[in-house]
Copies of this chain bind each other. A is one copy, B any other.
C-alpha cells in the first residue's frame, strides 16, 4: 500500500516529525512511502496514496497558511473527482507550547479537509507508544519552541506509532 506524508515546516521541527511519521509507515510490510513538503507535493501524490498524513505548525491559533494553500489548490482540485473517498488519513502538528490554544483547532482544520474528501480518519490512540505527554487524541503533536528543542524519544515514538497505524489501516481498507 502507498502512503504519502505531506508537511509544512518553518523552523524544521515539522519536517523532522514528518520523517518519523514516514519511518513508522515504512515499517509496515508492503508499504511504499513518500515524504514531501507542500512545495514538493502535488495532487498526483494524493491520488497515488492509499493513506495520507498531513502535518504543519500552529500559527496564530490555527492552520499555517502554507499548508492551507496546498489544501485549497491541490486537494481542492480532486474534490469533484471523488478519488480520495474512502482512503485513510491522519494529521500531526507542532507548536511553540504543547497543546496551547490553537493546536487542537489546527488538527481539526486538517481533519476537516480530509472529511470534505470523504476519507477515513485515523486518530492517535492513548495506548500508543509515546502518546504521553505530547499526545492529543486527534493526532500527535510536538511542543517544539522555535525549533531549538530536539525531539524527545517519546515524541519520536508518538510520531512513528501514528505513521505505522496509518499504514496498517490503509492496508486494511484497500484489502
Contact = CB atoms under 8 A, between A and B. Distances in A.
Copies of this chain held together in the complex: 4
A62 B112 contact: yes
Interface stretch (A20-28, A29-37, A115-123, A144-152): A115-123
Contact of A112 (B60, B69, B82, B117): B60
Nearest to A132: B97
Interface stretch (A11-19, A39-47, A98-106): A98-106
A113 to B, nearest CB: 5
A96 to B, nearest CB: 10
B138 A115 contact: yes
B62 A68 contact: yes
Given A71-B65, A97-B99, A99-B99, A60 B120 contact: no
Given A61-B115, A101-B115, 6 more contacts: A101-B137, A102-B112, A102-B137, A105-B108, A108-B108, A115-B138
